[in-house]
Amino acid sequence: MAEIETAEIETLDARQLSAQDARAIAELLVKVWPKLEKPVEVRERQMRELGQGYSGPDIQAPRSFVIRENGIVIAHAAFVTRTILVGSQELTIAGLTRVCTDPSKRGMGLGEKIVRPVLDLVDQGVFDFSYFQTTPQVVPFYERLAAVLTTNRVVNSLAVDPRAYPFWDELQMRYPADRPWPEGVIDLRGPGF
Ligand SMILES: CC(C)(COP(=O)(O)OP(=O)(O)OC[C@H]1O[C@@H](n2cnc3c(N)ncnc32)[C@H](O)[C@@H]1OP(=O)(O)O)[C@@H](O)C(=O)NCCC(=O)NCCS
């Protein structure tokens, strides 16, 4: 327990994630979201692809945050960087993704610990908001961190079907709750994350 309380958060640059780190994160992802079509090799490749193609400033570069115990990743959060359109307003967001804690380590504050660095970047003004999909079970966790549900319709104008819902979880949230958020359709201008 003491080890976990003092656990160090490592920051990994998603643009140059090593094969070893991608694998270590992928091992946790398959444990948390076991899917036949996404064995560890697929998760590893997807982790390595997460930051590829990003060409913006270093300060906004996509990152992963991890906590390890005995070399094994027990908590992870990543963000992608997107300039999305919300109504008629462009907003640069940290798109939280792959937030998870090892099932045997939940309820110890690790989830909050690995999400906090992303929210800190918003507080520091590096991003306008954090914006992400989620499930009803996890909403209270994010509400406690001062995020709030959003109800804007979401599309990806670059998709084959530009009117289709680009996420897979049913809900979306933004952080912070207390800053004005535009009405209107959200265009992710890229695939769901
Ligand atoms: C969400 C998640 C990362 C939280 O991790 P954690 O290390 O347990 O987080 P914390 O210890 O900081 O906070 C725990 C709180 O989150 C809440 N919570 C979060 N997810 C929950 C879930 N799926 N079921 C029940 N409670 C959940 C609990 O109420 C808990 O509050 P409590 O301590 O008062 O009981 C973890 O539950 C998880 O990996 N879930 C599965 C993957 C997932 O759904 N990720 C989010 C994708 S948007």
Residue 91's nearest CA partner among 68, 60, 116, 115 is 60
Residues with CB under 6 A from ligand 1: 32, 99-101, 106-112, 134-135, 137-138, 140-141
Q: Locate tokens 């804007």: which residue?
A: 152
* Domain 2-187: homologous superfamily in CATH: Gcn5-related N-acetyltransferase (GNAT) (3.40.630.30)
Q: 119: part of which helix (H) or strand (E)?
A: helix 110-123
Residue closest by Cα to atom 17 of ligand 1: 141
Domain boundaries in the chain? 2-187
Residue with CA at minimum distance from ligand 1 atom 10 = 109
User: Tens digit of pLDDT for each residue in 70-107?
Assistant: 999 999 999 999 999 999 999 999 999 999 999 999 99
pLDDT digits (tens, 9 = 90+) for 2-60: 456 667 999 999 999 999 999 999 999 999 999 999 999 999 999 999 999 999 999 99
User: How far away, in angstroms, is 141 Cα from ligand 1 center?
Assistant: 6
Measuring CA to CA, how many Å separate 99 from each of 56, 156, 161, 185? Answer: 23, 22, 27, 25
